[in-house]
Amino acid sequence: MPIISYREALNAALREEMQRDDSVFLMGEEVGHYQGAYKVSQGLREEFSSRRVVDTPIAELGFAGVGVGAAMVGLRPIIEFMSFNFSLIAIDQIVNHAAKMYQMSAGQFHIPMVFRGPSGPAVQVGAQHSQSFESYFCYVPGLKVVCPSTPADAKGLLKSAIRDNNPVVFLESELLYNTTGEVPDGEHLVDFGKADVRREGKGVTLIAWSKMVDVVLDAAESLEELGIDAEVVDPRSLRPLDTDSLVASVKKTGRCVIVEVGWPMCGLGSEIAFQLQRECLDFLDAPVERVCSDDVPMPYANNLEQEVMPQVKDIVAAVKTVLYLD
């Protein structure tokens, strides 16, 4: 299998799906002439023309709404937000129209569309460009929410998202665009609702998604040096969530730490922790712990930015807590 970047894997998924299905098109700021703000759409305008790779004004509410309308009449739009922070401007179209249209029309209108782009912290982009949006969109019935952590999952999940007949919020990490990994050529699909055990272990379950998977894997290496055998589970899709796989891991290890780059209050880890304690109460040897970003807007200074986000040391400390090693 070729080794390519996360960015190239997304590009391959877009290209293959646009070749396969003429109803698929991409729309967003700078996706065409500029080749994408993060170069995910490189070369697509030249191959598919400006009719299918559409540069838009800086008007997220407007072009998200155009996408919903296009989906209602049988097209499969992919809406790129330059940053998911800008999706807040389009939240009415995503939540009140895309997510609800199938039910409100009594099944007359499917909304087969993808909202995609970078979410979460980058490097020194400030408080208004560093927010994580998983919990925002997982809250909404009618949406599917996906957070790939590897190039292979980026390709396979995006292809599945484009083919899905429901609106999918596809959250990419800007910090992962340059990472590389093996990615199957051609028809590579990853189903929603199927977690991936990234590392087998027996001593504690670590649950993380997107960029935090890499941090957790590094923490697992540090824990191994302390004689602690950690299992790392990546849900990949957050709605639907593969609760069965998470429960199976926690029943095996008896302890769990959930790591997310979002804020602690009402974070997605809270819901996962609730589901685990409901299903695994008799198997848990300690309360579920969470490691989140600090409960503050993201600082601009790089040293403070690093301190705000979950670090290996924070995960190791949380594992020691559930193992009663403090």
pLDDT by residue (tens digit) across 13-43? Answer: 999 999 999 999 999 999 999 999 999 999 9
For 272, the token pair is: 């996962």
Task: State how beta strands 144-146 and 180-182 pair.
Answer: unpaired
Q: Are residues 74 and 154 in the same domain?
A: yes
pLDDT higher than threshold 90 for residue 125: no
pLDDT score at 260: 97
Cα–Cα dist 112/23, whole Å: 10
Q: How far is CA 31 from the centre of its chain?
A: 20
CA distances from 131 to 86, 111, 172, 173 (A): 10, 26, 12, 11
Same-domain status, 170 and 222 = no
Structure tokens at 277: 């304690």
SS3 169: strand
Distance separating alpha carbons of residues 21 and 31, to the nearest angstrom: 19
Q: What is the pLDDT of residue 159?
A: 98
Starting at the edge strand found earlier in the chain, the sheet holding 76-80 runs: 53-55, 24-28, 76-80, 114-118, 168-172, 144-146, 237-239
- What is the reported pTM? 0.96
Quickly tell me which residue has 């249209």 as its tokens: 101
Q: Which residues share a beta bridge with 80?
A: 28, 116
Q: Is 300 within a domain?
A: yes
Does any domain span residue 28?
yes
Report the C-alpha gap between 22 and 14 in whole angstroms: 12
Q: Residue 133 and residue 85: Cα distance in Å, rounded?
A: 8
pLDDT digits (tens, 9 = 90+) for 249-258: 999 999 999 9
Query: Is there a single domain that holds both residue 125 and residue 69?
Result: yes
Amino acid letter, residue 312 = V
What confidence tens digit (pLDDT) does each residue in 298-317 have?
999 999 999 999 999 999 99
pLDDT, tens digit (0-9, with 9 covering 90-100), for 207-237: 999 999 999 999 999 999 999 999 999 999 9
In a domain, residue 188? The reply is: no
Give the domain extent around 258.
196-322
What is the Cα–Cα distance from 186 to 155, expressed in whole angstroms? 10
Are residues 13 and 135 both part of a single domain? yes
> Mapping DSSP to helix (H, G, I), strand (E, B) and coil, where does residue 177 land?
coil
Residue 108 scores a pLDDT above 80 = yes
Task: Reply yes or no on whether the pLDDT at 54 is more than 80.
Answer: yes
Q: Which two tokens stand for residue 93?
A: 């179209």
Q: Is residue 53 part of a domain?
A: yes
Report how far residue 24's alpha carbon sits from residue 20's, in angstroms, rounded to the nearest whole number. 9
Count Cα neighbours of 319 within 13 Å in the Cβ-side half-sphere: 28
- As annotated, the active-site residues are 60, 129
What is the C-alpha to C-alpha distance for residues 323 and 326, in angstroms, rounded to an integer?
8
Three-class DSSP labels, 214-267:
HHHHHHHHHHHHCCCCEEEEECCEEECCCHHHHHHHHHHHCCEEEECCCCCCCC
67 shares its domain with 170: yes
Q: Kindly state whether residue 253 falls inside one of the protein's structural domains.
A: yes
Shared domain for 127 and 269, answered yes or no, is: no
How many independent structural domains does the chain possess?
A: 2
Structure tokens given for 105: 């029309």
- Identify whether 191 is part of a domain: no
130, 148, 182 - which closes a domain: 182
Helix (H) or strand (E) run with residue 146 in it = strand 144-146
Q: Looking at residue 1, what is its pLDDT? A: 83
Tallying the residues shown for the chain, one arrives at 326
pLDDT interval class at 164 (50, 70, 90): very high
